[in-house]
Chain A
């Protein structure tokens, strides 16, 4: 569990660090990151997740995140 949290922290830090650069090039696309490795940018979530699962296996955790200027929040109840 700690490993998973650390991995996600690393990936989100990398996203934060490179967000402005990625926004100018890939706004709205989905980035796939594992640890500090950036796999690529994809036009939709299905393509992004499939690429990550294909590269690292379906049982591996990795970050799939849409490159957006503002983080969306969702109301659930």
Chain B
């Protein structure tokens, strides 16, 4: 009898995103039905905007799913092309991610229309030969052809599924010059001069315990649960004046982070002793790469709006552009692999040695 504890965990399903015009809602439903077998087998999981629950910030949620999908289906019709949202937001972002090799885009031609010069026209479309679904004698046959094409791509993507955390952490120890991850850019969601002047650049983060669990040997003597920590979402202030990333004591308590040392922080009120905690940071709305392990300092922050300051230790990973005149800020992630924190070795000039 196989040992369930030692069985390899099944690969994560490929996340599929549907970009479509609501006028093609019934065709999208039909396509989803034809993909049921892939869902039941756990090969794919899918998301579309009808899954948004009431009261949710829909634009954020769509962006979130679009930014993390592995496979993006563009359901092409004249209405899709005519829709500013589909074209400017979804299709443009999808093509960016395709070019960066972060996701695969497949145009699904639903209805006949002129798409010869569309940015996705050079991609392999489905059904075969780009023949619109509506032009097939049997619509079921057309969707079956699409489902087979998607299955091939999903299985191919499944073989390149993200490495488990442990391997990713190991990758973090590889010198950055040996890794090549394309650059990405995050544009500030708010373009408002007054807002930026009053509150500063705010970035949605999820903080919590380090993402390390698979590294712990399964036969470890520890009888504790895999993690006592919790992941919490908050707005962080991007603060180039802070040498280190800071969380408030309340935030540290809520996330139940583990303490790994202490340090001295220089503040306007003088020097203070502060705890250092091990944490992880993720950037859910932006698509920026997560920081799986980072040291954060713990002290009160004078601005009651924030529980986190993103300091220069985090900013050193990015190109941060602030345009107060227009009211925008942008983050461009450098084209490098996961970050080792802090940088290997130490610089005597920097550390006063």
CA of A57 to CA of B223 in the docked complex: distance in angstroms?
A: 9
The residue in chain B whose Cβ has the minimal distance to the Cβ of A74 is B243
Q: Is the CB of B213 within 8 A of A58?
A: yes
User: Are A64 and B215 in touch, CB under 8 angstroms?
Assistant: no
**A76–B302 CB distance below 8 A:** no
Q: How far is the CA of A33 from the CA of B259 in the complex (A)?
A: 12
Instruction: Determine whether B241 belongs to the interface, using a CB cutoff of 8 Å to chain A.
Output: yes
Query: Cβ of A75 and Cβ of B340 under 8 Å apart?
Result: no
Q: Which residues of B contact A63 (CB under 8 A)?
A: 260-261
How many angstroms from the CA of A60 to the CA of B229 in the assembled complex?
Answer: 11
Q: Are B169 and A46 in contact (CB under 8 A)?
A: yes
Question: Is the Cβ of A76 less than 8 Å from the Cβ of B345?
Answer: no
Enumerate chain B residues within 8 angstroms of A66, measured Cβ to Cβ: 342, 346
Chain A residues, Cβ within 8 Å of B220: 54, 57
Partner of B346, one of A49, A52, A68: A68
- Mask, A1-37, CB within 8 Å of B = 1, is 0001000100010000000000000001000000000
Q: Smallest CB-CB separation from A69: which chain B residue? A: B353
- CB pair B261–A72 under 8 Å, yes or no, is no
Task: Determine the distance from Cα of A65 to Cα of B259 in the docked complex, in whole angstroms.
Answer: 11
- Are B351 and A45 in contact, with the CB atoms below 8 A? no
- Total interface residues on B, CB under 8 Å, equals 54
> Given the interface contacts A45-B293, A64-B278, does A77 sit within 8 Å of B302 by beta carbon?
yes
CB distance B227 to A71 under 8 Å?
no
**Do A76 and B244 form a contact, CB below 8 Å, given A28-B346, A61-B260?**
yes
B172 within 8 A of partner (CB): yes
Tell me whether A71 and B169 are in contact (CB under 8 A).
Answer: no
Q: How far is the CB of A62 from chain B (nearest CB, A)?
A: 7
Contact of B266 with A by CB under 8 A: yes
- Asked if A43 is at the interface of the complex by the 8 Å CB criterion, the answer is yes
Distance in angstroms between the alpha carbons of A76 and B278 in the assembled complex: 18
Q: How far is the CB of B171 from chain A (nearest CB, A)?
A: 10
Interface string of B338-353 (1 = CB under 8 A from A): 0011101110000111
Option from A4, A56, A68, A69 in Cβ contact (under 8 Å) with B259? A4
CB-based nearest A residue for B313: A74
Name the residue in A43, A61, A75 with the highest tally of chain B Cβ atoms < 10 Å from its Cβ. A75
B259 touches A58 (CB 8 A): no
User: B63: CB under 8 A from chain A?
Assistant: no
User: Are the C-beta atoms of B311 and A45 separated by less than 8 Å?
Assistant: no
B226: A residues at CB distance < 8 A: 58
**With contact pairs A61-B258, A76-B299 given, residues A45 and B341 touching in the complex (Cβ less than 8 Å):** yes
Which residues B199-244 have CB closer than 8 A to chain A?
209-210, 212-213, 215-217, 220, 222, 224-229, 239, 241-244
**Given A70-B352, A76-B243: 6 more A-B contacts, CB < 8 Å:** A12-B261, A44-B173, A50-B293, A59-B225, A70-B353, A74-B297
A-B pairs with lowest CB-CB distance, top 5 = A57-B222, A74-B243, A73-B264, A75-B266, A64-B260
The residues of B with any CB-CB pair to A shorter than 8 Å are 169, 172-173, 209-210, 212-213, 215-217, 220, 222, 224-229, 239, 241-244, 246, 258-268, 271, 278, 293, 295, 297, 299, 301-302, 309, 311, 340-342, 344-346, 351-353
> What are 9 A-B interface contacts by the 8 Å CB criterion?
A45-B340, A49-B212, A50-B212, A65-B260, A68-B353, A69-B353, A73-B263, A75-B266, A76-B266
